Each structure stands twice: as C-alpha cells, then as structure tokens.
A and B are shown apart, each in its own frame.
Chain A
Amino acid sequence: MNRTVARLSAQALFGSRRGIVLMLIPGALLVLSVIVRVLTDAEIGLEVAVGLGFTLALPLVALLAATAVLGPEIDDGSVVYLLSKPVSRHVIAVSKYAAAWAATMVLGALPLLLSGLVLDPSEMGQAVALGVGAAVAGTAYCALFIGLAALTRHAVVIGLLFTLLWEGALGGVFGGVKWVSIGPWGREVASWVSPLVDPVGLGVTYALVATILVTVASVWFTGDRLRSFTLRGDE
C-alpha cells in the first residue's frame, strides 16, 4: 500500500463536484430515515429504508468512488505519472482501492448503520448488523467497480446496469440471481450478525467466501490491467 497514491486518490475523490454528490447520497438516505421514523413504526420503516440503502445508495456510492479514483486518470492518460515510478502496479491498484474503499465505508456503510439507529434506537444489534453487512457488500462492490473502471471507459453505465437491472429488477424476479449478486451476500452476513435481519438463504460461509473472492480477483485484475497501460499521443 503506497500512502502517496492513496492520498492522491483521496484528493481526487473529494476535491471536486463529485465529492458533493458523493455526500448527498448518504444525506438523502438519512433524511428519508428521519421522515420514515416520523411517519410510522419501526418494522416497515426499517425494511424500506434498508432496502433503499442497500440496493441503491450503497452501490451508487461505491460506483462513484471507484470510477472517480481510476476512470478519469486512465481516460486522459495522466495515470502515466503514477505508472512511470518504481512502484509495483498491484501496489498502485491496492492503494487506489483503499481510498475508494474508505469512502464507501464512511459514506455507504456507516449511513446504513446510522439509519438503522434512527429507525429503531432500541435494537442496537440490528443497526450494527446492517452496518457490517453493508461494509461487506461495499467492499465487494468497490472492488468490482474498480475492476470495471480499469477494463473499460463505460464502467459507469455497465456498473449501473449491473446494479439496477441485474441485482435490482432481475433479482426481484428470479430467485437464483441472489447467488451472483453482491447485495444479497451483504444481507446474509447482516442476518448472521443479528437474527433480527431476515436471511437471504445463501449461508454466511458462501457469502463471505464469495465476497473475498470477488474482492481479491477484481483488485488483482486492476493491477494487471495497469501493467498493460500504453502511452498514447494526443490522438
């Protein structure tokens, strides 16, 4: 892990308009939680707010963070300044991932924990479970999206299609999708931490192993793609 690369990536993340939108998403989630708490009792509210946070806010934050940390630099070629140094490509990939991961944890997973607390202050364990589940899912999301960003310029749209179409729409229709979707893995871990969260039916071992596999494979892939980066002129 190279601190300089991580620091540069963090600066790129928060130093622009992207940073504002990045903060608005968890903000919206918390606002919703407060509204829901005011309107109704805990049970329904929790499901709804968690559904929104888990299936929408968390992956969107991960997508924004991951594509901000790698996409623009590869696009305009300025990643060459990082690559023309005696630093291993995999170390660069891991450092960038670390910056995006930190942002995802703070702006994606933490708000879910807070929103759980807002909606049901009596059940601390439940909120923590949500936070942990979101952390697990966020880790995998962030890794997958950074791998996408290293692969193609259209990482954002593909990531959106994955989240909204595959995990969202199709996941609602076909039960089998949950084995290959990151959101359900996170939820399974959450239900293992606290029985108050409904399990998804995957088994926590599968969920954890799948998360670790996806994370490691994606970050390794990113490092590998960085090794094949080519210098291009102004064409």
Chain B
Amino acid sequence: MSVLSLDQTSRWYGNVVAVNGVSMTVRPGVTGLLGPNGAGKTTLIALMSGFLSPSAGAVTLDGVALWRHTDAYRSIGLVPERELSFGYLTGRQFVLANAELHGLDDPGAATERALEVVEMTEPAARRIGTYSKGMRQRVKLASALVHDPSVLLLDEPFNGVDPRQRLHLMSLLRRMGSDGRTVLFSSHILEEVEQVARQIEVVVSGRHAASGDFGQIRRLMTDRPVQYVVVADDDRRLATALIAEPSVVAVSLRSDGGVDVSVSDFGSFAVRLPLVARRHGIRILELTPTDESLESVFAYLVGGDR
C-alpha cells in the first residue's frame, strides 16, 4: 500500500504561483490528473516525484517527505514527459542501466521481465535512436517498472503515441492499477483519462478544482441542468408532456429523432418520466444522459461559469 499525499501544498516562483494550496491523496489504483495546459500538472508531478520542493505545505509518500529523499526512488517509478535522448544505447542497454542504478540483485532478469511487460523484447536490441515515439514511451515505461515500484508517475504518457500503442499502454496502466500499484498519470486529453481512470483529480490554474469519480462529480454539479436524450415513438407529444413537468427546464426536438431534455432535478425526473410516458401512452425507446461525460464535467470546471 503506497499513498501519496499532498497537504495544502503550494509552489511559487517569485510572483508566479504554479500550484496553489492543493490537497489531494493518491491511493492505489489508477488516478488521472487532468487539467488544461499550464494548469500545473507537470509541477505537481515534479513535486510528487521529489524533484521540486513545496514552497508551503507537505508532499509525502506514506508519511515521509519526498524532497531530497533519494531512497524514496526505490518505490517510485517516474516516466517523464521529456524525450529519451540516449539514442546511442539500445533499449535493452538503457533498461539494464536503470536496473543497475537501482542496485537490483539480478538486473538482467529484471530487465527482461520489464521488457516483456511492455512487449518490447524483440526491438530491445536496436538502438533507441531508431525507435518510433510509441516505442520510446514503452522503453521509458519499462525503465520505470524494472524495480517493481509501488508508485508509478507518468507525465502525459500518451502524447504523440499512435492509436494502437495507445490502447496497449492504456490496458497496461489498467493492469498496473488492478495489481494494487498507485498509478498517477497526467493528461489534457479527456478520452484517454475516461478510458483508463475512474478516479480523477482536476487542476485548473494551479488550484485543485475537483476530485473523485467523474460520474459522481457530475452529479455534484447541481446548479447546472442535466441533459438527456429521450427517443420515443412519438417525440413531439412526449416533448409537450415533459415541458409541463416542474423538474424539466427545456425541451427541444432533434433533427434526427429524439428529444433533448434539460433537467434541473434528475432525481424526481427519473421518477416522473415513466409515469408521464404511461399516462400519455408513449413508448420510450432510448434514454441517454448526454453530458455525464468527462468532457462536460471538465468544461464546466474549467469554464468557470458557475
């Protein structure tokens, strides 16, 4: 069990505040660190990997402060955003060097294991200079896994990686999370985070904007109407009936069938919809929430129109 915890952490450079009073706890499983560019994601990862000292507050791993604590790297694996520039080494040599630097008993075996996990055993004999971007990411990941760390930090791991390798990486991360490791990865691409992590931490302009399961976060945003699409056998009559309901704020007919419904109180809507449909003899074919996606949550948090 490894728990990373930030407590009222701030980091400023002169007058610029990069991280502003962030408190979060990263537990075992996959957590997505989400935020627009320049929100402070890399700064947070630098703080959590011991490469930056907090100007205020504390950053701890299992209760021990991380800054200048070189021994902590036994349990932390870091996959930085920067490109691998050891072009003259082969993939195997690079991972092996990492294994040796960790002081492992059997660096060779650990290297082979790590390469197998990322499925890079064959290309490992070629020089890194000849690798594609996705292969470099995988070698970076292998070098971070070689010492079997309980915490894995990845800074924008899917940047510039082609779709097939991205799927591979995503399933890898999910597996790491279900193995019981604490995995944190940062991204500004919502689809990636949606598919890999259920637990998200959102940072906007250095502040911690939201944390938790994004479906639940959506439901917490009660001052915004929830959008649904209802497809019925008679859309117009359903729309007329629904607008009479007190929980419904707006309805509109979609050009390709179905009704867009804006609901202010989805609890009572969930109860009323079947009753309304039965009373008017309308058959409901489909009911889909349209903005429970991470995108709408994110847009809301970032857009600041609250």
A80 — which chain B residues lie within 8 A by C-beta? 51, 78, 80, 82
Contacts A4-B97, A72-B85, A85-B101 given; indicate if A231 touches B68 (C-beta within 8 A): no
Evaluate contact between A84 and B42: CB separation under 8 angstroms.
no
Cβ of B88 and Cβ of A78 under 8 Å apart? Answer: no
A231 and B70 contacting across the interface, CB-CB below 8 Å: no
Interfacial chain B residues near A164, Cβ < 8 Å: none
Check A86–B97 contact: CB distance below 8 A: no
Question: Given contacts A80-B82, A86-B70, A234-B81, is CB(A229)–CB(B89) below 8 Å?
Answer: no
Of all chain B residues, the one with the shortest Cβ separation from A73 is B85
**Selected interface stretch from A7-15, A59-67, A115-123, A190-198:** A7-15
In B114-150, the 8 Å CB interface with A consists of 143
A231 touches B46 (CB 8 A): yes
Check A227 for interface membership: any CB of B closer than 8 A: yes
CA distance A123 to B128 in the complex (A): 50
Please name all residues of chain A whose beta carbon is closer than 8 Å to the beta carbon of B101 when the two chains form the complex: 2, 4-5, 82, 85, 87
Among A3, A8, A16, A231, residue most surrounded by chain B Cβ atoms (within 10 Å): A231
Query: How far, in Å, is B142 (CB) from chain A's closest CB?
Result: 12
Q: Are B82 and A77 in contact (CB under 8 A)?
A: yes
Q: Is B305 an interface residue (CB 8 A)?
A: no
Contact A87 B82 (CB under 8 A): no
Q: A82-B101, A85-B98 are in contact. Are A231 and B71 (CB under 8 A)?
A: no
B186: nearest chain-A partner, CB-CB: A233
Choice from B45, B85, B102 contacting A78 with Cβ under 8 Å? B85
Known A86-B102, A233-B155: A78·B84 in contact at CB below 8 Å: yes
Task: Add 14 more A-B contacts to A78-B85, A81-B84 (CB < 8 A).
Answer: A7-B97, A8-B97, A11-B89, A76-B82, A78-B82, A80-B51, A81-B80, A84-B73, A85-B101, A230-B52, A231-B45, A231-B52, A233-B81, A233-B155
> Within 8 Å of chain B (Cβ to Cβ): is A89?
yes
Q: How far is the CA of A8 from the CA of B94 in the complex (A)?
A: 9
Near A by CB (< 8 A), chain B positions 194-223 give: none
Chain A residues with CB under 8 Å of chain B are 2-5, 7-8, 11-12, 15-16, 72-73, 76-78, 80-89, 227, 229-234
Query: B88: nearest residue on chain A (CB-CB)?
Result: A15
Q: Which of A15, A72, A73, A231 has a CB less than 8 Å from the CB of B49?
A: A231
B83 lies within 8 A of chain A by Cβ: yes
B71 A86 Cβ-Cβ under 8 A:
yes
Most chain B beta-carbon contacts within 10 A, residue among A2, A8, A89? A8
Is there contact, CB below 8 Å, between B70 and A89? yes
Rounded to whole angstroms, the CA-CA distance of A87 and B72 in the bound complex is 10
- Count, chain B residues at interface, CB 8 A: 32
Interface pair A86/B51, CB less than 8 Å apart: no
B residues less than 8 Å from A85 (CB atoms): 70, 73, 98, 101-102
Please, which residues of chain B bring their CB within 8 A of the CB of A230? Answer: 46, 51-52
Known: A89-B70, A233-B155. A84 touches B83 (CB 8 A): no
Across the interface, do B155 and A12 meet the contact criterion of CB distance under 8 Å?
A: no
B20-78 contacts to A (CB < 8 Å): 42, 45-46, 49, 51-52, 68, 70-74, 76, 78
A84/B78 in contact, CB under 8 A? yes
CA distance A77 to B80 in the complex (A): 9
User: A81 to B143, Cβ gap below 8 A?
Assistant: yes
B12 within 8 A of A: no
In the assembly, what is the distance between CA of A88 and CA of B52, in Å?
A: 16
Q: Which residues of B lie under 8 Å from residue A76 when comparing CB positions?
A: 82-83, 85
* Alpha-carbon separation in the docked complex, A234 to B51 (Å): 16
User: Does chain A have a CB within 8 A of B103?
Assistant: yes
Q: How far is the CA of A227 from the CA of B67 in the complex (A)?
A: 10
What CA separation (Å) do A77 and B101 show in the bound complex? Answer: 18
Question: A83 to B68, alpha carbons, bound, how many Å?
Answer: 11
User: Roughly how many angstroms separate A81 CA and B71 CA in the complex, as a whole number?
Assistant: 15
Contact A12 B88 (CB under 8 A): yes
Contact in complex: B85, A84 (CB < 8 Å): no
Cβ-based interface call for B300 (8 A): no
B141 CB, nearest partner CB in chain A, Å: 13
Q: Name the residue on B nearest A4 (C-beta).
A: B100
Complex CA gap A229/B68 in Å reads 10
Report the bound CA distance from A230 to B51 in whole Å. 5
CB distance from A91 to the nearest CB of B (A): 10
Q: Identify A227's interface contact among B68, B80, B100, CB under 8 A.
A: B68
A67 CB to closest chain B CB, in angstroms?
16
Closest B residue to A227 by beta carbon equals B68
